[in-house]
Structures are given as structure tokens and as C-alpha cells.
Structure 1
């Protein structure tokens, strides 16, 4: 009996004999195989060329020329000038709030301070010890804000903050060995639009970032926090300063770089502040004297575009995102460049629009490509199998994070395995190479647009400062963690800013900078008392 190997050999011989009968040699067979492969490869290449053309047509509105960027710069400059003249919110895009910070750290600051940094769905409590020039010791803890407090009564939100302050002090033994009458100075970093009448008085103009607590808008947030602290009889704290997070970033970097005059946030939101000459601030209602020649202005530039000055670069995707948000026709510029996401807790998704921005823009473009049968052809519409419902991704706002954008656009693997893994993690199983390639192009394009726009607005502020050399302190997750965004930002600024400049990352800027503001305030108060 023949073995299985003998049988296989016999079959192979028979096949070759058959081929020879028909005049087909092994060489010819090889040629046929190579020809079939070549034809298949050419067909695939042709399809990719067609895909690239179709995708390019979809992405073209997101590609900004330097001419368009300079138009954005001119419009921002005009809006800044108008905002410095008056508080006419009906006609001005930008609030241009004077902050009552008119100083820079001089290295003589000292003491210990508490800082509460509220600017999103969590907040940070810090204890900062300032021990002389550039010597700061920092302890902090992040507290998650329950969703109900973001949408409930404002008094309960501030009571919760006071409760967390108590826990932080107790856990770190900060009150131990303190005199009975000792009070901590606290700087309140509050990253929402406020009108300030002094360093420690600030009226909330409007909530942003998904907050809608009642009883806060139109009221002094410093007083609301102080009242909540006072309701806890064991807390000995005095709120001495209201500081925007951009101001904290600026102050922290000013302690290290003598030419730092600008603070920028590029993360879950975007904003900037800078030192402006008082002569250029007609609406300034504070004192004018020889010692006060400049004031830090909180631009609130995220609102740029409210009256249409960015319509020439807004796409249908930008409009769709804005119209579906909780704040339509607000924070137009911010919605084009920032990286917010939904608040997700286990299996419950609270459908709060936290200005989805970069990730959501990419998701909406993907949906557009799916509807055009460019992406995932004949797959997304199929009935779910093995528990896989591809349509969930299409209907779930906020399911594509800014982090996904960063990771995908940096995917340099030969088979785009990083992109495939991310898509699988959000419910798009077994994506083809073409699918991954197209989505990477989408992420690159959206991220590049954001970086160019960020560069354009920073360039305007740097030029307004009008110094031979300017350092810009920057904080926020986009600048801190998104490497390609940061490179594109710096590269674009080099074309738009003629003067010497540098962008530096601010480490714990909000906490350190706000503590420095409180320290300078204490020094000024002690000086006044002694005189």
C-alpha cells in the first residue's frame, strides 16, 4: 500500500502531465501566476488612487493656506482691539477681561498657600510651599465631581469643594502645629468667563465645558466659595485671589523666563492671556498710576467667530458639531481645535456635550466617508453578528477621543496595526488596510488644521506684546501629549512670527502660578499695612 507521501507525489506528477498535455509548462504557469498577481496589484493600486482622490475631496476644506491663516490673524487682532474698548458682547466676539494682575514674580515670594483649580469634570486641590526664587514644593490631589453637581444647584457644588478641601487638609496633616487663629491663603483657579472688579471679586458671565449649575451665573464665585468654606466651621481659609488658568500658566513661566508675557491653554479648552499696556485698554476702570503701566488680559479667545469672522474656513462638519452641541454659536474657535470628550462612567454615558472637538470632528468625517461608501463598504450597514454592531460607533457621539487622533496620526507601523487596534477597541472590527490608511489621513488633516489655527492666534498675541524676544508659557493636554500637534504648531509659528519667540511647557502652571499670585498679593498687603 502506498504511503500518503507517495500519493501526494503521484498527484503532483499527474498534474504536471496534464499541464504538459495542454502545452502549459511550469514556467508558463509561473508567468500566469505572476500576471494574475500583477493585475490584482494594479487593480488595488488603482482603487487606492481613486480612494485617495475621493478622500482628498472630502478633506480639502480642512486644509488651510497661509493666506487664510493671516486672515484669521487679522480678524482676531481686530476683535481683540474691539474687546479692549468696551464690554459690548452684542458686537464683540472676545470679552478681553482685565484680570487685576499687574505684576510678575520677582523671586522674593514665600509662604504656603492652598489652590483650588476648577475647570472641568474634576478639580485639583494643591498645597504650595514657596521657599524663594524658583523653589516650590507641591502636593496635590484630584477630585472627581459627581455628574449631578455639574448640573445641579451651585451651592451644592461649592459645598462639595469645601468638603474636599477639608479632606485634603486632614489627609496631609496641614493644620497640625498651626496657631488657633492661623488662616490659609487660597487662590481660586477658575477657568470660566468672569468679569473681575478686583483680584478677589469675580462675577461669572456664563458656564462653559458642560457646567450648568444654577445660582452661579451673575454672582461672585469667590464669595460663593468663601461662604461654603465658612459653613464648615473647622476650615480656616481665606480666598484671596481669583485666577484664570491662563494667568496661572503665565505666572509660573514668568518666574523662570524673564521675557514670558503670554500664557496659553491648549487642551480640553483653549484660551490665552498676555500683558497689555493700559493705554490700549480704554475700558479699564481701575486705578491708573505710574506704577501700573500694564495689566494681564484674559482674552477668552475660544469665543472667536461668534459673529461670523471665521465662517470663511468653517466646514459643514464644524457647523454640524456646533449645531448639535449644548452651546450652539458659542466657543466657535474652541470647537475647531480643542480635545474634549464625553464624561463616561462605566456603562452609563452621560450625554453632555463637552464640546467634542478634535475627536468628534474626525468621527463626523468618518461618518461622511461611510455614507459615501469610501470607508467600510457594505459592512457598517450589515446586521450585527457575534455581538458586533458596527452602527453603534456611528450613533455614539464622543466615542472617538482626541487621544485616538494623536495615536493614529503617529502610527508608523507597516500594516497600520496601531490604527487597527484603536478602531477595534471602539467597535470597528477587522478594518482593512485601506480603511486604516484613510482614517490616518483624516486624523493628520484635522490635527494639522488645529495646530495651524493655534499657531495663528498665538502669533497675534506675540506680535501684540511687541518685544524683541517673547516666551509663551503653554499648558494643556494637546501641547503636552500630542507630539505631532506640537511640532506642527511650532513649525507654523516660525512662518507667522517674525520676531524671536519660544514656546515652553508650563509644569503645574495653574497651581504654582496661582500660588505666586497669592504670594505677591500677600506681600503687597503687608507692604500697605506697614506703611
Structure 2
């Protein structure tokens, strides 16, 4: 059928040409007329595309940050950090700036075996870590899925489930074999939620994030709740010895290799950072001050920046719409501009805006639901566009943007035109670039506050690991914002190895505190 149709078109064209020749019109003139018509058509199409792209540029312009705006973000963040180190005031300060009670990086002489529970999303990981001296670690781990009902249910049941999984992990790996009857594993609890710590073993949950809303946990000591759940199992030989934020684990895992590693950053589903601060700069510090305790790692919880309006000058209507429809309105304002949990949704909301303006998929997204229901699902379903889609589309270098077309088809946008794909790629690039620039501005503040001749920043998270363009834009922007020598290093297994190192350093200091300074790595 296709070949018959093609032949018919060819024959039709030949008949038309013959007819025009009979009328006295030459082939050359026909060619000129044809070329003229083609270029007129191309010019009209180009003009139409330029008009469309200009309108798109106007929509995207608020997302395109200048260096002046970035430096204003830096100044505001630095001010909020300084103010929050003076006093704990959740009404006045955007940031919490929690002291973590981790005062030292590893010396390189730590050893022993440790269990680690890493809780920070819809699944958690249990690890068994052997530390055998500097840069020598062995670990075995397993990931456990958390039933959705436990994310929203009673808190005690969540911790009972974690204890149950710990029991299964120990039994499956026969870890209790050949252990003395009174042996107890030291466990570091990597807990990636805002906590007010009173010591390394006491941490009160301030608020849930990342979709958790378990009851009877906020305001309570999560270390105690986990220990009680472990003790309820009677025969589970575990003692929780440290509460570790994932940023701290990220920092500690890299500090084994880099002496100047003094900051840890997470750029993933959430975003946060920690860094070493001298106690003299922390007026609210109520802990020990002596020759062995001159600094402490501060968990900034900087995703909350902007709660009191200091980022309003760069927030867009899309940012406000996303915030109002989120599970945590008016909270984590900075995080909602950067983290992987929100990047895809920002892009989706911009696409919806472009559709409503008839710039994208004109006349198609309004089809009857009975004909193409998935179009309408995309328009109304929050969270249907992922950060991975943003990364893959941004990196689409195919001539026909086939990668973008395939992704759009997979989420219900069938047969997108080249123009549709081109515009959506521009949206992804713009949103991703803004996120990278803002992350760079925040990291620049850490580097400046550390005030060292060179700084290594340990980084982890899906955006840094897997979104190559984001990583390049982050590094490029950071290089323009800070003049000090610096490097960004991917932290490997920070939530396991780094957290185990926190427990190991604590054990070492307890057994030989005076020997610590003598054994610092050079």
C-alpha cells in the first residue's frame, strides 16, 4: 500500500509538470518557483520558531541567575549561618546549624567491626563494616524496603521493623557465630533528618522530611527509640553508639584520604551540608571546651534557607506553585530549587504552563480523555516527571532528539514534534543549570568560612553521581565564585564507611584520648 501511494504521488507530480510545460512554462522557471516557494515556507517556519522560542525565553528568564544574584544568595546564606550559630531560635533563624558532637576526623589508626543502619528514604540499608587501618575497610550490606504504611504510621512500629531487619541481617550472615555470650555490636545510626543532638548518642527529631510522617517520633530521641526496639527483641546483641547525619558520614569517608577534607555535601533526593567549625565561632555551644575539643562538625540543614523570605528575590511563580502543593509548604525553600526530589516537578510545571499557552503540543493535550487519557494524566499528576528524565533530556545530543521523544512517549506524550522536544530540552537545561549554580553558591560559602589555603569538599548524592551536566555546571560556577584552591571529591559509601568511622573515632578517643593528636594523618 505504501509503495502504491508513493508511485501515485510521483505520477501526479509528473502529470502536473507536463501540463505546465504544455502551457509554456519551462523546467528552469518551475525550479525557480519551487525553490522560491520552499524558501518562503522555510522563512515562515523559522519566523514562527523564533517567535515561539522568544516566548519560551521570556518564561525561562526568571530561572536564569546572574552572578550578582548568586553572590547575594551567598551573602544571605552566610548571614543565616552566623546568626544560627549564636542561638537556637527556630522562629527567627532559617537554619538550624546543629552541632553533631563529632569533633575529629579519623587519625588512620581506627579499627574494629561495626554495624550501620542508614535510614533516609523509602528503603534503608544495614551494613557490617570492618575497619583495618587507614584506607582499609571491608563491608557487607543489604537493602530493606520499608512498607509505605510504616512511613506514615506509628513510629514505634517503624523502629520495630528496623530491629527485625537487623536480626535477619545478623542471622543471615551468621555474625554471632564465635562471639562471646556478652558481646555487643557497636551500631552507628545514619539518620538523614533534622535532629537536635545533645551528645553523639542523643538526638531529638525536629521534623520529618522526604515523605516520612510517622507519629510519636518528632520531639523524641530517635537513638533511644531504636535502642528500645532492639532491646525488645531480647536476643539482639547491639548497642547504638552514634547518631550520624548523612552529610557527616560523607565527610568522614573522604577525610581518610584527604587531610584537608573539612566539608561534606549531599546533592540527591534532598540536599544538605556539614563542615568543621571552631567552637569560638559557636556562641550557643554548651558542650566541652578543652585542648582536645576545639572544633565540631556543624550540620547546617541549609535546605531550609529562604523560610523567612531571604530567597524571594529569585523565587519564581513556578517555585511558589510547587511549594504550595508540596507536603511541606513554606519549608525547605532552598532544597526545593535544587534537589532531585523537586527538579522534575519544576520542569513538569513549566511544561504544563507552556501547554496552557499552546506553545507545546498545540491542540493535542486537550484531546478527549477517552482518546488519549495519558495526556491529561501528565497534566495533573504531580511527580510524574523525574530528575532522571531531566538529566537524560539535557544530555540528548541526537540529531532528531530521539532520546527526548522516547522519554516523552514513556510518560504519555506520544509523537512529540522536533520543536516540542527542542523546547523541553531547553527547559531541562535551564532548570538544571539554576540548581547547579545555587548549589555552587552554597558550597562557596562553606569554602570561604573554612578559610583554608585549600579545601576538599566531599560530595555524594544522585545529582553529583549521575547527572554529568549538573556536575560540570556546578564545578564551573564554583570556580568563578571562589578564588581559594578547592576540589570536589565523590564520597564512596559515606553513609556506611563514614558512619562506622564516626563510631571508630569515638571508641579510639575513649580508649586513648591523649594519643589522638600524635596519630593524626599527615
TM-score (norm 1): 0.93
Give the corresponding residue for 2:122: 121
1:159 lines up with 2:144 in the alignment: no
Q: Structure 1 CA distance, aligned partners of 2:410 and 2:167?
A: 40
Q: Structure 2 CA distance, aligned partners of 1:528 and 1:49?
A: 69
Compared with structure 1, are the counterparts of its residues 15 and 394 closer, same or farther at alpha carbon in structure 2 (3 Å cutoff)? closer
1:95-494 → structure 2 map (5 Å cutoff): 95-340=96-341, 357-384=342-369, 387-494=372-479
Q: Structure 2 CA distance, aligned partners of 1:157 and 1:504?
A: 34
Give the corresponding residue for 2:74: 73
Summarize deviations over 1:318-338 as a string: whole Å, max 9, x none: 000001112111000000000
Verify the 8 A CA contact 1:383 1:389 in the aligned structure 2. Answer: no
Compared with structure 1, are the counterparts of its residues 162 and 39 closer, same or farther at alpha carbon in structure 2 (3 Å cutoff)? same
Tell me which of 490, 495, 500 is aligned to 2:485: 500
Compared with structure 1, are the counterparts of its residues 209 and 286 closer, same or farther at alpha carbon in structure 2 (3 Å cutoff)? same
Compared with structure 1, are the counterparts of its residues 511 and 26 closer, same or farther at alpha carbon in structure 2 (3 Å cutoff)? same
1:510 lines up with 2:511 in the alignment: no
Question: Aligned with 2:364: secondary structure?
Answer: coil
Question: Aligned with 2:358: secondary structure?
Answer: coil
Question: Aligned with 1:502: secondary structure?
Answer: strand
CA shift for structure 1 position 8: 12
CA shift for structure 1 position 187: 0.1
Q: Where do 5+ consecutive residues of structure 1 fail to align?
A: 341-356
Deviates more, 1:225-234 or 1:480-489: 225-234
Compared with structure 1, are the counterparts of its residues 21 and 205 closer, same or farther at alpha carbon in structure 2 (3 Å cutoff)? same
Q: Structure 2 CA distance, aligned partners of 1:434 and 1:30?
A: 29
Q: Structure 1 CA distance, aligned partners of 2:104 and 2:14?
A: 92
Summarize deviations over 1:40-59 as a string: whole Å, max 9, x none: 21111111100110000000
Summarize deviations over 1:170-214 as a string: whole Å, max 9, x none: 122211221111110000000111111110111111111111111
Summarize deviations over 1:150-188 as a string: whole Å, max 9, x none: 110000000000111111111222112211111100000
Q: Structure 2 CA distance, aligned partners of 1:168 and 1:325?
A: 35
Q: Where do 5+ consecutive residues of structure 2 fail to align?
A: 516-522
CA shift for structure 1 position 21: 1.9
Give the corresponding residue for 1:28: 29
Deviates more, 1:310-319 or 1:204-213: 204-213
CA shift for structure 1 position 384: 3.9
Question: Aligned with 1:390: secondary structure?
Answer: helix
Question: Aligned with 1:181: secondary structure?
Answer: coil
Compared with structure 1, are the counterparts of its residues 34 and 288 closer, same or farther at alpha carbon in structure 2 (3 Å cutoff)? same
Give the corresponding residue for 1:343: none
Compared with structure 1, are the counterparts of its residues 450 and 17 closer, same or farther at alpha carbon in structure 2 (3 Å cutoff)? closer
Summarize deviations over 1:503-523 as a string: whole Å, max 9, x none: 000011111000001111112
1:523 lines up with 2:500 in the alignment: no
Summarize deviations over 1:195-249 as a string: whole Å, max 9, x none: 1111011111111111111111111100000000111122100000000000000
CA shift for structure 1 position 389: 3.5
TM-score (norm 2): 0.95
Compared with structure 1, are the counterparts of its residues 365 and 15 closer, same or farther at alpha carbon in structure 2 (3 Å cutoff)? closer
Compared with structure 1, are the counterparts of its residues 66 and 528 closer, same or farther at alpha carbon in structure 2 (3 Å cutoff)? closer
CA shift for structure 1 position 376: 0.6
Q: Structure 2 CA distance, aligned partners of 1:12 and 1:521?
A: 85
Verify the 8 A CA contact 1:362 1:446 in the aligned structure 2. Answer: yes
